Amino acid sequence: MATMSEGRRQTQPRSSSSGRETSLWSSGFGMKLEAVTPFLGKYRPFVGRCCQTCTPKSWESLFHRSITDLGFCSVILVKEENTRFRGWLVRRLCYFLWSLEQHIPPCQDAPQKIVESTRVQNLLSARVPGGAGEGQAPDLVKKEVQRILGHIQASPRPFLVRLFSWALLRFLNCLFLNVQLHKGQMKMVQKAAQAGSPLVLLSTHKTLLDGILLPFMLLSQGLGVLRVAWDSRACSPALRVLLRKLGGLFLPPEANLSLDSSEGLLARAVVQAASAPLGLRTGALVVLRSLWSHWGCSRRICSRVHLAQPFSLQEYIVSARSCWGGRQTLEQLLQPIVLGQCTAVPDTEKEQEWTPITGPLLALKEEDQLLVRRLSCHVLSASVGSAAVMSTAIMATLLLFKHQKLLGEFSWLTEEILLRGFDVGFSGQLRSLLKHSLSLLRAHVALLRIRQGDLLVVLRPGPGLTQLARLSAELLPVFLSEAVGACAVRGLLAGRVPPQGPWELQGILLLSQNELYRQILLLMHLLPQDLLLLKPCQSSYCYCQEVLDRLIQCGLLVAEETPGSRSACDTGRQRLSRKLLWKPSGDFTDSDSDDFEEAEGRYFRLSQQSHCPDFFLFLCRLLSPLLKAFAQAAAFLHQGQLPDTESGYTEQLFQFLQATAQEEGIFECADPKLAISAIWTFRDLGVLQQMPSPAGPRLHLSPTFASRENQEKLEQFIRQFICS
């Protein structure tokens, strides 16, 4: 329940029957604004920079110096000025004339280039197993190459592409008010395209419209026809023919055959020579149905496309191979600690790869497979960092965490997002933004007018809270470091003070830096890799120091100088130890605390400022849905019916999460994605084991966790990080 009141009344205290209205943060913590802008001073934060460690040259050369001065443009706004002609008739036919002027590069020699590629030529000359020398005539292999190539792609038909662009432009103008694109981000992509190398674009697919909207956007910006990869199983034969002529790519079924199949080997060679895909799009008919449903909406919507900074793949391959080190599985790292067999955290990184294993990936060497997986971590980190936070995510977070004064806290949270280098996708008058956000969430909230200008916002109980939790999860990457640190502190205090104890009592305890490092490492290893978004080139201990620095910067931790110890800020008498002098360059941070021997005597306390208890609770609640789902999955181990397939056990766990949500009235954990994440994590932890069977792989409960005692130890280990 929350209250939204007039701006002129926000500065006046209000009284109620129970006394002064409580507020999550005091008025001095944040600044209330009547208007919200996505700027810090004159500039808006730039997001989506590539990795400076792995691609330093791209980080420098492919960055637009004036990017912060450039604004946005609408890619569907086509006027008379966008054509070479002028006049009354041109203003009415500008869409059609614009589509005629689009540059569509020819690609008649593409089939010949593919046949002449190295891998295909090796097959034709029998230099690899499965080639023409093993019972197949070269002419037959050439015909097979042509057949596979015909299934994959066709030469784009300029007339069809222009006709489709014209029709899509008219349709998008009926669907959207505008489709915003940052000019500076587009300048960087165009600069990378001018280098002459093939341009590969990977999409995170925020919506079902990406497979159609993104190629149109890039065509309108002069990058030519984009080759988009589609899943042929979701398209009818007639639709596949049309999409191939519009520039679509379809992977042949043979590409996913076993590695010892000659057909699969040939198909993968052709695919490698033919593709520069945007990303696999599944369900073309679903996209069309989604477009049709949007057509029936009475209000047009706004859309925004984010482009991260491009980087050289060749530069990444050379740099990434030098950053590889030893890694251990999650079972080796955490299972002994969960069971109480040891207390020390191994000084190594976690190996947790959830990349789907497909035929083209299996065709690569083990070293190249690892390179692809780590590249996906970099791409995912950049894509999440470049996405703007929307007003509905902020509103859902404030409502779920029962904030009282929405106007002031919405402004404060927006400012905190911008200060952390993330972008927001809204601006305007504060009251208008809140009303618009609440109108978008009207299926999950009820608005009650209690007096003139004041609204009481009440959450509707039920499964709709799961949708609010999904929206609030968009804020997690912004506050992830602080949230990990807060939950780690909660785990450190769990055995020392009562969970419901006063904040003043918790602030008395001294927290050593080594203890904080250990708790942060334990939580880091427990969290999934796709949530943590830790780059492969970044060590865990560097991330621990980053988390600790964030907790100090936001005011939750204050340094406590013990008697006889050197001040943490006294750097005058500090000398570089031999250990620090010979560290690899990738292990340096901005702090001198990498030398852990010097950090043994450093202690911290929880700050006693008035805003800290509520802010600490806010950070812990960001990770609560995931951690609670993991804890409930541990409690479900003795009830689950095993062995079962992964999909079957996921359905069992999801039904248990729903039943628990109905009993407790907390629906944030009743999410099938959280159930899948819990099962994958438990499989890596050694709680569940995947074994082959005639009907396919099946999950079994590990003998180690067959006892209730070890199951309770696992649940207790997870619940120490949850703040009630």
pLDDT at 582 over 60: no
Residues sharing a CB contact under 8 Å with residue 219, sequence separation 6 or more, in sequence order: 102, 161, 165, 225, 226
- The pair of structure tokens assigned to 342 is 């040891």
504 compared with 223, residue with greater pLDDT: 223
Average pLDDT over residues 588-593: 43
Lowest mean pLDDT among 259-268, 274-283, 308-317: 274-283
Residue 361 predicted with pLDDT over 80: no
Reply yes or no on whether the pLDDT at 17 is more than 70.
Answer: no
Q: How confident is the model at residue 463 (pLDDT cuts 50, 70, 90)?
A: confident
**Where residue 705 falls among pLDDT bands split at 50, 70, 90?**
very high
Instruction: Report the Cα 594 to chain-centroid distance in Å.
Output: 29
Q: E strands along 538-613, which residues?
A: 557-560, 603-606
- Mean pLDDT over residues 648-653, rounded? 96
Q: pLDDT value at position 22?
A: 31
Q: Where are the domains of the chain?
A: 64-114+140-305, 391-460, 624-720
SS3 category, 148:
helix
What is residue 252's predicted lDDT score, i.e. its pLDDT?
61
76-85, 316-325, 512-521: which is most confident: 512-521
Take residue 625 and report the two structure tokens written for it.
């849905």
| Mean local confidence (pLDDT), 60-67 | 80
Q: What is the pLDDT of residues 473-497, one digit of tens each?
A: 999 999 999 999 999 999 998 877 7
pLDDT of 120-153, one tens digit each? 676 666 544 444 444 455 666 667 666 766 666 6
Question: What is the rounded average pLDDT for all residues in the chain?
Answer: 76
The residue ranking higher by pLDDT, 271 or 114, is 114
> C-alpha distances in angstroms, 694 versus 256, 688, 697?
20, 19, 8
What b/e readout covers 115-135, taking b as 16+ CB neighbours within 10 angstroms?
A: bebebbeebbebeeebbbeee
* C-alpha–C-alpha distance, residues 241 and 284, integer Å: 13
Q: What is the mean pLDDT of residues 389-418?
A: 86
Domain 624-720 class?
mainly alpha
Residue 324 has pLDDT above 80, yes or no: no
Per-residue pLDDT, 631: 96
pLDDT at 299 over 80: no
Helix (H), strand (E), coil (C) string for 468-521: HHHHHHHHCCCCHHHHHHHHHHHHHHCCCCCCCCCHHHHCCCCEEHHHHHHHHH
Residue 260 binned pLDDT confidence (cut-offs 50, 70, 90): very low
pLDDT score recorded for residue 306: 85
Q: In angstroms, rounded to a whole number, what is the distance separating the alpha carbons of residues 240 and 248?
A: 8
Q: What are phi and psi of 552, to 5 degrees?
A: -70, -40
Scanning the structure block, which residue is given the tokens 């946005």? Answer: 72
Of the candidates 490, 550, 485, which has an alpha carbon nearest to the alpha carbon of residue 521? 485
Those residues whose C-beta lies under 8 Å from the C-beta of residue 3, and which sit 6 or more positions away, are 21, 404, 405, 406, 450, 454, 455, 456, 457
Tell which wins on pLDDT, 510 or 1.
510
Residue type, 671: D
Residue 461 banded pLDDT, cuts 50, 70, 90: confident
Judged by phi (left if over 0) then psi (alpha if -120 to 50, else beta), residue 428 lies in left
| 326: pLDDT strictly greater than 80 | no
Q: For residues 340-351, give the mean pLDDT.
A: 85
Burial 163-196 (b: 16+ CB within 10 A, else e): ebbbebbebbbebbebbbbbebbbbbbbebbeee
Cβ distance 284 to 290 under 8 Å? Answer: no
Strand 603-606 vs strand 557-560: parallel, antiparallel, or unpaired?
A: antiparallel
User: Phi/psi of residue 281, each to 5°?
Assistant: -105, 125
Given a cut of 50, whether residue 33 has pLDDT beyond it is no
Instruction: Give the pLDDT of residue 387.
Output: 85
Predicted pLDDT at 123: 62
User: Is a pLDDT exceeding 80 seen at residue 418?
Assistant: yes
Helices (H) and strands (E) in the chain, counts: 30, 19
**How far is 146 from 123, CA to CA, in rounded Å?**
14
Using CA atoms, how far apart are residues 125 and 229, in angstroms rounded to an integer? Answer: 29
- Residue 362 has a pLDDT of 65
Q: What is the distance between the alpha carbons of residues 190 and 185, in angstroms, rounded to a whole number?
A: 9
| Count, residues in the chain | 724
Lowest mean pLDDT among 15-24, 195-204, 547-556, 597-606: 15-24
Q: What are phi and psi of 499, to 5 degrees?
A: -60, -35
Question: Which two tokens mark 113?
Answer: 């280039």
Confidence band, pLDDT 50/70/90 cuts, at residue 284 = very low
pLDDT at 633: 96
How far is the C-alpha of 515 from the C-alpha of 340, rounded, in Å?
17
**Statement: residue 466 has pLDDT above 70:** yes
More confident residue, 383 or 209: 383
pLDDT of residue 95: 83
pLDDT above 90 (res 702): yes
User: Is the model more confident about 460 or about 236?
Assistant: 460
Q: pLDDT grade, residue 170 (50/70/90)?
A: confident
Paired residues of 20 in beta bridges: 15
How far is Cα 502 from Cα 126, in angstroms, rounded to an integer? 76
Which tokens belong to 195?
């280098």
If residue 447 lies in a helix (H) or strand (E), which one and from where to where? strand 445-451
Q: What is the pLDDT of residues 245-255, one digit of tens each?
A: 666 666 565 55
Percentage of residues in the chain having pLDDT higher than 90: 23
Amino acid 23: pLDDT: 31
